[in-house]
């Protein structure tokens, strides 16, 4: 009799340090004990370069850039973009609020050399409420990303592969410097426009700004007493 071939482990590398995703992979790992799969959480650069086993998938929550050589080693290099397909790149929260978008969301996609251009795996949206600001959108987007994450883990659990949605990015990725087009306040602006600029930029260090004696100054949000 010939020797029995040793089953290959199917490695999934998590690039994140949030307890929500950490709990998710621990639960997932327990459900797949009999299927000989492992989830590894570690220094991703070193792990990809030195790993002797095939890395089946990477879940990237931290905007880490992985070079083309390492991407080629991974079947499913997945990035969780904090925005829907119509807001690729940086500053999506700002643009969604500034443009009075009705919806926002998160998108899981394959990573390519160029950021936020890879094949769409899943997009999930939620409604933007009148009270939403950048901070609340960030929280809702994170929860939405977790929802997608659990769904993808379930797909791996059941089939060992992922389905793709028939969607494409609707524009080129925004750059963070693009926010400079909308983050300045002037005295001639209407009050409604000023409020929109405040709402869409105040959370970031990128705005809003004004000029005082020919000097660029960031406008600080006035602190309000917490009555809760």
Please report the domains of the chain, with CATH numbers, ordered by start residue: 10-159 (3.40.50.12230), 182-218 (no CATH)
Instruction: Report pLDDT for 11.
Output: 62
Rg (CA), the chain: 21
pLDDT tens-digit profile of 67-122?
Answer: 888 888 888 989 999 999 999 999 999 999 999 999 999 999 999 888 899 999 99
Asked if residue 179 lies in contact with residue 208, where contact means CB atoms within 8 angstroms, the answer is no
Q: Count of CB atoms within 10 A of residue 184's CB?
A: 16
Q: List the beta bridge partners of residue 125.
A: 105
- The rounded mean pLDDT for the chain is 81
């Amino acid at each position: 009799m010939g020797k029995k071939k040793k089953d290959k482990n199917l490695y999934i590398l998590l690039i994140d340090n949030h307890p929500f995703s950490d709990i998710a992979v621990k639960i997932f790992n327990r459900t797949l004990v009999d299927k000989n799969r492992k989830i590894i959480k570690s220094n991703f650069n070193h792990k990809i370069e030195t790993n002797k086993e095939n890395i089946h998938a990477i879940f990237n929550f931290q905007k880490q850039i992985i070079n083309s050589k390492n991407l080629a080693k991974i079947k499913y290099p997945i990035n969780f973009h904090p925005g829907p397909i119509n807001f690729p790149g940086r500053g999506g929260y700002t643009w969604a609020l500034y443009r009075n978008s009705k919806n926002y969301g998160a998108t899981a996609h394959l990573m390519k050399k160029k950021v936020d251009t890879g094949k769409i795996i899943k997009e999930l949206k939620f409604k933007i409420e009148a009270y939403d600001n950048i901070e609340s959108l960030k929280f809702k987007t994170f929860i939405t990303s977790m929802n997608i994450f659990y769904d993808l883990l379930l797909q791996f659990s059941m089939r060992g592969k992922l389905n793709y949605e028939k969607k494409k990015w609707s524009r080129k990725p925004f750059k963070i410097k693009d926010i400079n087009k909308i983050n300045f306040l002037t005295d001639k602006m209407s009050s409604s426009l000023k409020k929109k600029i405040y709402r869409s930029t105040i959370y970031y260090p990128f705005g809003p700004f004004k000029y005082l004696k020919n000097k660029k100054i960031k406008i600080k949000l006035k602190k309000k007493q917490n009555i809760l």
